[in-house]
Structure 1
């Protein structure tokens, strides 16, 4: 069983669709999975080097602006298929605002309110963008449905925050 982390596996998944440079992979990841799985540029290049070393991807010739396009190998396709056959681990919520609220007794109320308002605007923006998103595959529709429901749930929770944050 290949020891792929989810970030490496996602890169192999994107490379199933065609050859990409590291820069292109960062942009594709931001667009397709960036709202629920973050990838930094340094992670992408580090994973591409590891995937190349393991024979899961091959780098092409260096082109303009030092870009190198990568393609998935048969071994990479096999490793990706094996990774997909293993049940995913449970998610862990990493929500910075929630962490700040957990320690909110140590934050000025006005400042905390500004933080919440800033996040509300971001979640409203994401919800609008999701509503405008066009999907093609059933899997994209399923992922989008989660995003829509998640953003609406966060906004509903934010509606309840004033009552939840009062001292009763």
Structure 2
């Protein structure tokens, strides 16, 4: 009888000590998750190409859930995620200051259109002569950026003017070569 108890104790101890390494082999360190088609590894595991298996279904363990070919952690850690604000539609016509200013040779001009309108933006030199038409078209509601290349103009101060549905605004820009 005593030999059966000793055997039982050894069996329990063997089970307790040997199960820890087996559990350790099932674990993947939380720091190695890629959530995409890249290879990741830890000291015990390696995952390569987990992308593109949409019919896998769901399988899970205490720390991981595999769904549709991707690994997800169940403890709620999310990294590198930014909340994107929904774009606000403009409520008024606007003409923003160009950037960079002063510039050489390209700059960006931003304008807002609150309703579908014919928009014209023209560039004038300091004497009032029109030197370029930057925009002359119909635009839908939105915020727009135009890039202006002034490679063929001389250094100096210029004025750009927007006209759209009764709205008129001007801004100065400086070209330095």
More strand by share: 2
Q: Larger Cα Rg: Structure 1 or Structure 2?
A: 2
TM-score, scaled to structure 1: 0.23
More helix by share: 1
TM-score, scaled to structure 2: 0.22
